[in-house]
């Protein structure tokens, strides 16, 4: 399997988009080929991702601000139905690419200009692995502090075990017991700075997910610090067609009883499911991610609910037909996470080069924590 040369796109994209590590084509993505033809040495690296042409953004809710990365911002503005203002998700480089014709000639035409106005041409920034559409990222910046954890190092940290429902919007739900390190404990061990506001988790199929450090009213924002509400176990025989109750940890539990988790439900970096190490992910024949390990971010429900049927099911009957307002936490539980960026990057630093940080980390059983952490933390 040629993992590094798969030409694919991050899940938020349709225009001016690029891959992250290796992923799948999405929403008719057709622009990455132009950039990679002009700059073939950038394939699989830092610039080979959504943020080359797409910006992040921020949402104001109930008096607080949530900063979103390019994937979630595109989901928020453009939407899964592709009916929103896509142009509003583009950064300065993406807008120049669009204006110049959105083709191979456009890449060449904008090479000599300074799209983001930081004093460096697009060509100079691309050569230095800096984002040409982000004025805060230029060749003068240095790499952000980082720390690489091996499995043995993760296992040496305090371990946490929790049984919970993973409620999926479009696929089967299921109960299972996960164990690993709470994200809060991991970040404190990595030396998280007081200035940090959240994290972004990346997986090698191109997915990224943002989590604020502290609780937020937005139902899609699963926080890092603190516990989540306790839940109940929901088990009806008729629900077995759309909810997996086969995990050993389900045995002996009864419908409606409280689920007790020592230390409470937490945002977890899981190493094991049902006591067994998570199987390392691979790309299947359709160039999609199979598996969830060696590490997975597990988020509990912010508003506990029973399982419900898939939104794609034609049998929306009792018990528990699909409920859009229910908490479908499984979609935010990033599988096979390899990088965790602690936001925001410190002043004077730039994002790391991810060219060797995808499948290589999966194969080696490692994970990188970087960004707003102490320099030189051991």
Q: What is the rounded CA–CA span in Å between residue 359 and residue 365?
A: 10
Q: Residues with Cβ < 8 Å from 150, sequence gap 6 or more?
A: 364, 365, 366
| CA gap 234, 227 in Å, rounded | 21
Question: 101-160: per-residue pLDDT in tens?
Answer: 999 999 999 999 999 999 999 999 999 999 999 998 899 999 899 999 999 999 999 999
Q: What are the sequence ranges of the domains in the chain?
A: 32-140, 147-371
pLDDT tens digits, one per residue of 199-221: 999 888 768 899 999 999 888 89
314-322 long-range contacts, Cβ below 8 Å, gap at least 24?
318/238, 319/236, 319/238, 319/239, 320/234, 320/236, 320/239, 320/242, 322/169
Given a contact cutoff of 8 angstroms between Cβ atoms, the answer to whether 8 and 25 are in contact is yes
Give the pLDDT score at 71.
62
Task: Give the C-alpha separation, 89 to 195, whole Å.
Answer: 26
148 pairs with which residues across the strands?
368
Q: Provide the whole-model pTM.
A: 0.75
Q: What is the pLDDT of residue 149?
A: 97
Alpha helices (H) along 275-321: none
pLDDT, average across residues 295-310: 98
Contact (CB, 8 A) for 130 and 350: yes
Going by their DSSP bridges, the two strands 349-350 and 142-143 should be labelled as parallel
257-302 pLDDT, tens per residue?
999 999 999 999 999 999 999 999 987 776 677 899 999 999 999 9
Mean pLDDT of 313-328: 96
Q: What pLDDT, on a 0 to 100 scale, did the predictor assign at position 283?
A: 74
CA–CA separation, 97 and 267 (whole Å):
39
Higher pLDDT, 137 or 223: 223
- Per-residue confidence at 372, pLDDT binned at 50, 70, 90? very high
pLDDT at 356 over 70: no
43 confidence band (pLDDT: 50, 70, 90): confident
Residue 14 banded pLDDT, cuts 50, 70, 90: very low
Q: Given this model, what pLDDT does residue 8 score?
A: 30
Whole-number Å distance between alpha carbons of 276 and 281: 15
Residue 192: its pLDDT value, please?
A: 98
**Other C-beta atoms lying within 10 Å of the C-beta of residue 156:** 12
Residue 142, exposed/middle/buried by CB under 10 A (0-12, 13-18, 19+)?
A: exposed
Angle (CA) 370-372-376 rounded to 5° is 65
**Residues facing residue 149 across a β-bridge:** 367
Separation between Cα atoms, residue 253 and residue 237, nearest integer Å: 13
193-197 own/partner pairs: CB under 8 Å, 24+ apart = 193/342, 193/346, 193/372, 193/373, 193/374, 195/344, 195/346, 195/372, 196/342, 196/343, 196/344, 196/371, 196/372, 196/373, 197/67, 197/343, 197/344
Mean pLDDT of 38-50: 84
Asked if residue 1 has pLDDT above 50, the reply is no
């Amino acid at each position: 399997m040629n993992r590094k040369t798969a030409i694919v796109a991050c899940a938020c994209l349709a225009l001016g988009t690029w891959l992250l590590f290796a992923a799948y084509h999405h929403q008719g993505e057709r622009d990455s080929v132009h950039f990679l033809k002009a700059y073939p040495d950038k394939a699989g690296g830092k610039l080979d991702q959504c943020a080359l042409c797409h910006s992040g953004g921020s949402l104001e809710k109930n008096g607080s601000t949530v900063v979103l990365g390019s994937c979630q911002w595109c989901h928020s503005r453009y939407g899964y139905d592709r009916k929103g203002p896509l142009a509003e998700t583009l950064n300065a480089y993406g807008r120049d690419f669009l204006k110049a014709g959105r083709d191979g000639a456009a890449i060449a035409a904008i090479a000599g200009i300074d799209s983001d106005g930081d004093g460096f041409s697009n060509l100079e920034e691309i050569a230095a692995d800096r984002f040409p559409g982000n004025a805060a990222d230029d060749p003068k910046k240095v790499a952000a502090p980082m720390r690489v954890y091996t499995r043995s190092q993760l296992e040496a940290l305090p371990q946490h075990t929790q049984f919970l429902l993973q409620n999926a919007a479009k696929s089967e739900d299921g109960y299972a017991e996960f164990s690993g390190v709470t994200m809060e404990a991991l970040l404190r061990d990595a030396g998280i700075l007081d200035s940090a506001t959240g994290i972004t988790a990346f997986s090698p199929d191109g997915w990224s997910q943002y989590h604020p450090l502290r609780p937020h009213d937005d139902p899609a924002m699963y926080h890092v610090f603190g516990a989540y509400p306790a839940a109940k176990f929901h088990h009806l025989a008729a629900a077995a067609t759309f909810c997996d109750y086969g995990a050993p940890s389900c045995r002996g539990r009864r419908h409606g009883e409280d689920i007790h988790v020592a230390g409470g439900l937490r945002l977890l970096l899981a190493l094991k499911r049902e006591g067994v190490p998570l199987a390392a992910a691979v790309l299947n024949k359709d160039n999609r991610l199979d598996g969830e390990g060696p590490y997975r971010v597990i988020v509990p429900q912010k508003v506990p609910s029973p399982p419900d049927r898939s939104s794609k099911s034609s049998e929306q009957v009792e018990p528990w037909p699909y409920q859009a307002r229910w908490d479908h936490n499984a979609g935010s539980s990033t599988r096979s996470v390899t990088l965790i960026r602690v936001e925001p990057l410190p002043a004077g630093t730039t994002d790391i080069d991810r060219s060797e940080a995808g499948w290589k980390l999966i194969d080696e059983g490692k994970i990188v924590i970087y960004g707003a952490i102490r320099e030189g933390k051991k």
